[in-house]
Amino acid sequence: MGDKVEIAAGETLPFDTGRKQDALLGHLVKNEPFFLLAKDKIRSEWFADPWSQKIWETKLAFFKRVGRPPVSVTEFQDCEEFLARFDPPERNRIRARMVECEVAVGEYGLDSLRQELTSWFRSRVFKAWIEHAAAQYNKAMSAPDPRS
């Protein structure tokens, strides 16, 4: 199966829209090995909270420019991606959001979140492949028969 299949737009992370998503983002911000593993897999639109989406997008932009994640929250909040993109009230809202995520890290361990995320991701990839296969089958069935 050489084709690359994308998870459909409109999907959200498997966790409730509250504390588990906060904890996941907190782990992504604070845990460099986890960030490096997840950076190409997790999309910002999967976060229900728009401020969480902005944090994730900013961290990915920093990584793209520098080639590594920020080493601290301070570096993140002082980076050009953060300072240029957001005005002072937005920066304050994002800082508050990051504190909420840091607190949530203490409530949900990465091990259990990772298991839920992995199961969800596998089911979404499976669903995407099924939809891809059905589309290919329907396309082949609607094509004229070359023997005719």
pLDDT in tens, 40-92: 988 888 888 999 999 999 999 999 999 999 999 899 999 999 999 999 999 99
- The answer to whether 1 and 133 have CB atoms below 8 angstroms apart is no
**Mean pLDDT, residues 92-109 taken together:** 94
Indicate the range of 79-93, 103-117, 131-145 predicted with least confidence. 131-145
Q: Which pLDDT band holds residue 1 (cuts at 50, 70, 90)?
A: very low
pLDDT at 102 over 90: yes
Helices vs strands, H then E, count in the chain: 7, 0
d(CA 90, CA 94): 6
- The answer to whether 89 and 98 have CB atoms below 8 angstroms apart is no
Q: What confidence tens digit (pLDDT) does each residue in 4-35 have?
A: 556 666 667 767 658 899 999 999 999 999 99
Indicate the range of 48-52, 56-60, 110-114, 143-147 predicted with least confidence. 143-147
d(CA 18, CA 116): 15
pLDDT at residue 9, rounded to an integer:
63
pLDDT at 117 over 90: no
From 114, 134, 116, select the one nearest 126 (Cα to Cα): 134
Chain centroid to CA 73: how far? 19
What DSSP element (H or E) covers 38? helix 32-38
Higher pLDDT, 141 or 76: 76
Amino acid at 148: S
- DSSP readout, 80-132? HHHHHHS-HHHHHHHHHHHHHHHHHHTTS-HHHHHHHHHHHHHHHHHHHHHHH
d(CA 50, CA 54): 6
pLDDT at residue 10, rounded to an integer:
67
